[in-house]
Amino acid sequence: MQKNCKRIAAITMVRNDDFFLQKWVSYYGAQLGKENLYIFFDGLDQRIPKFCNETNAFLHEKIGKHVVEAEKCRLKFLSDQATKLFNNGYDLIVGVDADEYIVVDPKLEVGLREYLSSQKIDVSLSPMGLDFGQRLGKESDLSLEKTFLTQRHYAQIGTRYTKPSVIARPCMWGSGFHRIKGHNFHIAPGLYLMHFGYSDLKIIKSRICDKGREAQGWGKHIIKRSRTIRFVNSLPARDFDCWTRWARIIQTWCRPPYALNKPAMFELKIVVEIPERFRKIL
C-alpha cells in the first residue's frame, strides 16, 4: 500500500452478471487490492467464479421477489455490510454495482486509492455520473479482451449515476446507491462513475430475457434505461471537459423537489465524447 493511503474496500452484490463482474474485479483489484473487494452473490443458486479468487466472495440467500422490494433490501444489506467493514478497520467504503467503475481523470496522474485518500470526506463523496451507450454500426459488441474505453466513446452525463458511492462512516444507502438517507452529497472534481450496463445492445437483450430479472420485474426498467443507446446515436457529442465542468456546477445546486439529496440537471440530455487520455485506464 502506498504511504499515507487509507484502507479502502469496495463492495457489491450481483446476480447473473459475470461479464461486468470480471471487469469489476480486474479494475478495483488493481486499484484497491483484491483482498479489499467484497462480493455478495444474490442467491444460493449462484456460483462463485474463479476470477473471484483472492477476493472476499460469498453466496447469500436471494433478496426480495420484486424489483422495488429487492432493491430496498439489497441496499439495507450492503449498508450493514459496510458498517461491519468500518468496524473492522476500513477508512472508506466504495459501494457500486458490478457494471459501475469509479475512475480518476488521468490528467491528475493519481490512482483511485491515492485520490480518495487525499480527499476530506465527512459522510460521502460522489463521482460525476457518465452513462455509456453504443454507437450502432460504429461500435461493436463489448469485449473483455480490450479496455472498455477503447470500445465505447460516448456517454450521457447522467444524474442517476452521480451517486454518493464513497462513504467515510456508517450510513444508509438508498436503492441503487442513489442517495444516502439523511445526508447531502458532494461531487468530487476529476472523479467519474462510468456506467456500462446499457452500453451494449446484445447484453441488454440478454438481460431482458433473463428469467431471474424478469421474475423480479426488471424488464420495463431495463428497457427504459436502455434509451441511453438512442441518445448517443441521436444527439451531438459535446466537449467532455467543458460540459462535465458545467454539469458538476448544475448538479451541485439543482435538486429534484421530490428528493433534495439527489442531483438534477434541468432534464438536459448532454452526450459527451470521452477524451483519448482515458482509453487505457478501464
173 phi and psi angles, rounded to 5 deg: -70, 145
Grid cell, residue 121, equals 470526506
* 8-278 fold: Spore Coat Polysaccharide Biosynthesis Protein SpsA; Chain A (3.90.550)
Beta-ladder partners of 38: 11, 56
Provide, rounded to the nearest whole percent, the portion of the chain with pLDDT above 70: 90
The whole-number pLDDT of residue 209 equals 61
Provide, rounded to the nearest whole percent, the portion of the chain with pLDDT above 90: 76
pLDDT, averaged across the chain: 91
The whole-number pLDDT of residue 71 equals 82
The residue type found at 1 is M
Per DSSP, the residues of the chain read --TTPPPEEEEEEESS-HHHHHHHHHHHHHHH-GGGEEEEEESTT----GGGTTSEEEEEPPP-SSHHHHHHHHHHHHHHHHHHHHHTT-SEEEE--TTEEEEE-GGG---HHHHHHHS--SSEEEEEEEEE---TTTS----TTS-GGGT--EEEE-GGG----EESS---B-GGG--BTT----EEEEEEEEE-TTS-HHHHHHHHT-HHHHHTT-HHHHHHHTHHHHHHHHSPEEPHHHHHHHHHHHHHH---TT-TTS---TT---EEEPPGGGTTT-
Grid cell, residue 170, equals 456508517
- pLDDT tens for 229-260 read 999 999 999 999 999 999 999 999 999 888 88
- pLDDT tens for 58-98 read 999 988 666 667 788 899 999 999 999 999 999 999 999 99
pTM of the model as a whole: 0.92
- pLDDT tens for 184-234 read 999 999 999 999 999 998 888 876 665 555 555 544 555 666 789 999 999
Grid cell, residue 155, equals 456517454
